[in-house]
A = this chain, B = another copy of it.
């Protein structure tokens, strides 16, 4: 499974990261951040982010795109700008027929670092350790993008474990229901 993680940003750098897993370990294929040129308009920003996602999807053909959901504790204006960026990321994935999954920042931190209040530095450390990187991914936005990709991988793996556990419990339960009637 290959996942493209995106940490959208309206003004600061928008982080991206591609993570692949064979089920046992995860490895990083690419990470980076798209900085906003100081003179670029918001419209140009939207175009640049759409083009970036399009390009990464073409190059890596991920099975899913994972995006940080908009943090509603931000002020309304910032949250709405961020939602516009998110819309464009979702569009690029949808145009390529790739499903998009959203995770709240606290969810990503809890999943990757073990608790929802992890600091930026702690997240960078955890991402570095998990992906066996020599250095912590810079900027923090790129680490955030790798983290949301990891978060999605963990969520899928958890679902699979639960499905296996449930189906084996079901077959066991079915078995025990059948036995008394024999």
Tell me the A residues contacting B by CB distance below 8 Å: 42-44, 46-47, 50, 70, 72, 76, 79-81, 83-88, 90-91, 93-95, 99-100
* Cα-based distance from A57 to B79 in the complex (angstroms): 28
* Cα-based distance from A47 to B72 in the complex (angstroms): 25
| Smallest beta-carbon distance A91→chain B, Å | 5
Question: Which B residues lie within 8 Å of A44 (CB)?
Answer: 94
Q: Which of B43, B90, B94 contacts A94 (CB 8 A)?
A: B43
A10 to B, closest residue via Cβ: B87
* Cα-based distance from A76 to B80 in the complex (angstroms): 9
A49 to B, closest residue via Cβ: B91
Question: Which B residues lie within 8 Å of A50 (CB)?
Answer: 91, 95
* Cα-based distance from A50 to B44 in the complex (angstroms): 16
| Smallest beta-carbon distance A134→chain B, Å | 36
* Cα-based distance from A88 to B81 in the complex (angstroms): 12
Question: Which B residues lie within 8 Å of A90 (CB)?
Answer: 42-43, 46, 84
Q: Most B CB atoms within 10 A — which of A44, A50, A85?
A: A50
Q: A47-B91, A47-B95, A84-B86 are in contact. List 13 more A-B contacts (CB 8 A).
A: A42-B90, A43-B91, A43-B99, A43-B100, A46-B91, A46-B94, A50-B95, A76-B76, A76-B79, A81-B83, A84-B84, A84-B87, A87-B87
